[in-house]
A and B are shown apart, each in its own frame.
Chain A
């Protein structure tokens, strides 16, 4: 396990290093998998978000799964406040409701609103790499700028979902507001 994690971290490091250097860069979704995992560490979920103390921390992939085994490898054996991290592929909105993080792949552009609406009343972090200039209800949008993956965070939406985002994360990301999006497309 430890060996694996070390390997993974090394892999991430190598990936980041490679991506920085612009040669033999890790795949996009390898990076995004690590991002998803890292969100669990920079964001705090309320207790009510879990049905029980040892209920799993579920990372849901809505619709199309671009990660393959990559994400599973990343979260394997990890816990968040005692909750074991698990990856769940969800296809329906009903399924999405049980997730703490819900990733919506840009290919699911049409079903994005459905997915967002499915978790709107609960503490589920919504992440998507759907392109565009607006959030479209997603709390964290992953965008690629200058060959790097960047985050746009709708902090108000996260706050409304009772999620506490670390200031470190906020500083490293671009914070947007759904209310201002209209005026600033």
Chain B
């Protein structure tokens, strides 16, 4: 750093000395030139004066013809060593006297010149008239060399040199002293600059030197420092904000719920930007309102006077908020100047500067970030830019959190669906198995059913005891058939076309209570538990359209659940009532309420899921699922109220059927046909063949049995050929090789008028689903009841 300073001082010195030398040299040159010119003139002038004086003194010498005197007078020239020759001529031009005495006469001019002085060969030659009272007496010749001029010039050169040397010396001393006045401020400035650059301390200022130019320089330097300081402060602030932004972004990156994200953001901004108040509001475009979602932890004290507590709503007014909702950042440096209600709130809470930044995702605003400070005009453009960028990050993080939530929900739903599909698959497999079992059981109990019916009808001699036993058997068969029928519910997916009938809910409720008596009365009593039944059935209840069996099953399930929920006893309430609904319709409701253990939230939420059970191995998890299926098929509503430890109330509401109740259809009476028919029985099960033969022959019909489908077709063809045809064919459906459908088709192709009755272990379902195969006139489920058989024969053959 000292090298340039030295150089400046050296340069200054050089400048000063050079100037000094030039000025003095110029001055001296001018002076010497002037002297050289004027000295010549003065030499001539002196010579002239001298000549005139000598001439005047020579008058007497000439007048009185005294050459000695003339020589004496001329000798006066010896006073001037530069006068090399002098001579006096008389009036006629003859040489009168000369000086010096040693002079060669030949060097004198032979002829007297006219008056005047001339330079000839570095000499001055002059002729002066010698006259007295206007009368010329002679002429004086003077010759002087120019050595005087040379000497003078030499002297001047010497003086000039001396003056230059002295001046330079003096100038050097002065400059050396003065240059410090110039170099010192520069060095001071350099020192300041070094202090600034070494310490990065831009608050240092250079002192003023006291001279105008240096003060200008110093002021400019200090001004520059001020600007650098300001710029450095700004970039530090910017760095701080960047780092804060980065910190916040990192902090919210792995959070997936909005509240947590907003809290983190607000806390960081409150502490580090900082701000005096901050909150995040979510925007509801439908109602054009903002709802305060999160208030910063340090801002809660101000949130109440502002009316911005969490959950508070703010209408969008016509200034900043609407601008912000349109996606632009709003910056109000001083809210006291604004008349609008939202900024007024801030002005009243003495929060004078306000920034509202939109939370923008895919060009739509879903919320705003509100930041405020007490001091007006305290948000710099950098702060605003920071808040804008922060809002962008927050919006993105929020959006990601929402997407994450949606993804998670979708994933949960998918998993649930997969679970359900698996359960349904299990159910389908179970259903197939149940179907097979049901078929076999139905086949197995068919002879029992037929024989029991036949015995009760046709053996008048039975003892009372035997008849009673047969009745029990008949009921048991009915029970088994019912169980098998219910078992089918497991695999029956849906009734494609549900047969609706007018149902009286009160009657169904009574039946169910009677049927389930064992469950809610007998069993608990044996266990020493007391369950009180309260039956509150509203009289004159309107009917509903529905499938009575399904409703009955559903109610049974509800009562079973209610009883199971009261292991320590309690009150079971079954209640029906009607209430008006919008329009002219009415609603009919049935409630089953217990005072049991109740359900927690998790159980309540999941209780309708298939296979969800709280009963462990005892439960199938299908009860409420079946109830829910019934409710959906009937367009009914299902409500569950439950409190842990207090009990549960299950409420099913049906739309009322406004038509009056019709009397229930009477079941057809069994009449034995009067005709005696020739019947072909086709079945692969000999026991069923035997039972059917016995039953039909008992009614007076003639039967021919064919074991298997092909045998049946052959027997029918033989009968036709021998002109002794069958009037009726009763065939099983499921047979190896040639099944019941093929048999029926074959019969109809040979004799279209011959009725075909089909028996099947799946018969009930077939009927319900109207899957009666072609060429079959009637389908009867197994076990066939004698009554049903008789009705079918009578309807088909009169």
8 more A-B residue pairs beyond the given contacts A16-B90, A17-B90, A42-B63, with a C-beta to C-beta distance below 8 A: A5-B135, A10-B91, A12-B91, A13-B90, A13-B94, A41-B133, A42-B59, A42-B60
CB of A35 to closest CB in B, whole Å: 7
State whether B72 touches A41 (Cβ < 8 A): no
SS class of chain A's interface: helix, strand, loop or mixed? Answer: helix
- Bound together, the chains give a CA A38 to CA B64 distance in angstroms of 8
- Bound together, the chains give a CA A145 to CA B96 distance in angstroms of 18
Chain B proximity mask over A95-122: 1 for CB below 8 Å, otherwise 0: 0000000000000000000000000000
State whether B64 touches A13 (Cβ < 8 A): no
Chain B proximity mask over A20-38: 1 for CB below 8 Å, otherwise 0: 1000000000010001001
Question: What are 7 A-B residue pairs whose CB atoms fall within 8 Å in the complex?
Answer: A9-B91, A12-B91, A13-B90, A14-B92, A17-B90, A42-B60, A169-B64
By beta carbon, the residue of chain A nearest B91 is: A13
- Bound together, the chains give a CA A19 to CA B72 distance in angstroms of 20
- Bound together, the chains give a CA A119 to CA B67 distance in angstroms of 33
> With contacts A168-B57, A171-B72 known, is A35 near B90, CB below 8 A?
no
- Bound together, the chains give a CA A150 to CA B61 distance in angstroms of 11
- Bound together, the chains give a CA A29 to CA B67 distance in angstroms of 20
State whether B59 touches A31 (Cβ < 8 A): no
- Bound together, the chains give a CA A19 to CA B64 distance in angstroms of 12
Please name all residues of chain A whose beta carbon is closer than 8 Å to the beta carbon of B136 when the two chains form the complex: 9
Chain B contact residues, CB within 8 Å of chain A? 56-57, 59-61, 63-67, 69, 72-73, 90-92, 94, 132-133, 135-136
State whether B63 touches A173 (Cβ < 8 A): no
Which 4 pairs between the two chains have the least Cβ-Cβ distance? A168-B60, A13-B92, A13-B91, A172-B60
- Bound together, the chains give a CA A5 to CA B59 distance in angstroms of 18
Tell me if A148 is interfacial: C-beta within 8 Å of chain B. Answer: yes
Tell me if A151 is interfacial: C-beta within 8 Å of chain B. Answer: yes
State whether B94 touches A171 (Cβ < 8 A): no
Chain A contact residues, CB within 8 Å of chain B? 5, 9-10, 12-14, 16-17, 19-20, 31, 35, 38, 41-42, 148-151, 166, 168-169, 171-173
State whether B94 touches A9 (Cβ < 8 A): no
State whether A149 touches B132 (Cβ < 8 A): no
> With contacts A16-B90, A41-B132 known, is A149 near B60, CB below 8 A?
no
- Bound together, the chains give a CA A12 to CA B137 distance in angstroms of 10
State whether B91 touches A172 (Cβ < 8 A): no
State whether A172 touches B69 (Cβ < 8 A): yes
Please name all residues of chain A whose beta carbon is closer than 8 Å to the beta carbon of B72 when the two chains form the complex: 171
State whether B65 touches A31 (Cβ < 8 A): yes
State whether A151 touches B64 (Cβ < 8 A): yes
Please name all residues of chain A whose beta carbon is closer than 8 Å to the beta carbon of B66 when the two chains form the complex: 148, 150, 172
State whether B135 touches A9 (Cβ < 8 A): yes
By beta carbon, the residue of chain A nearest B72 is: A171
State whether B94 touches A172 (Cβ < 8 A): no
- Bound together, the chains give a CA A151 to CA B90 distance in angstroms of 20
Picked from B64, B69, B91, B135, the residue with its CB within 8 Å of the CB of A35 is B64
Picked from B56, B59, B65, B73, the residue with its CB within 8 Å of the CB of A148 is B65
- Bound together, the chains give a CA A172 to CA B61 distance in angstroms of 6
State whether A17 touches B92 (Cβ < 8 A): yes
CB of B72 to closest CB in A, whole Å: 7
Please name all residues of chain B whose beta carbon is closer than 8 Å to the beta carbon of A150 when the two chains form the complex: 66
Please name all residues of chain A whose beta carbon is closer than 8 Å to the beta carbon of B69 when the two chains form the complex: 171-172
By beta carbon, the residue of chain A nearest B138 is: A13
- Bound together, the chains give a CA A19 to CA B94 distance in angstroms of 12
Picked from A14, A17, A171, the residue with its CB within 8 Å of the CB of B60 is A171
- Bound together, the chains give a CA A12 to CA B60 distance in angstroms of 14
CB of B120 to closest CB in A, whole Å: 27
Picked from B65, B73, B133, B135, the residue with its CB within 8 Å of the CB of A16 is B65
State whether A20 touches B67 (Cβ < 8 A): yes
Please name all residues of chain A whose beta carbon is closer than 8 Å to the beta carbon of B56 when the two chains form the complex: 168
- Bound together, the chains give a CA A31 to CA B64 distance in angstroms of 9
- Bound together, the chains give a CA A35 to CA B72 distance in angstroms of 21
State whether B64 touches A17 (Cβ < 8 A): no
Please name all residues of chain B whose beta carbon is closer than 8 Å to the beta carbon of A10 when the two chains form the complex: 91-92
> With contacts A10-B92, A41-B132 known, is A172 near B64, CB below 8 A?
yes
CB of B794 to closest CB in A, whole Å: 210
State whether B60 touches A169 (Cβ < 8 A): yes
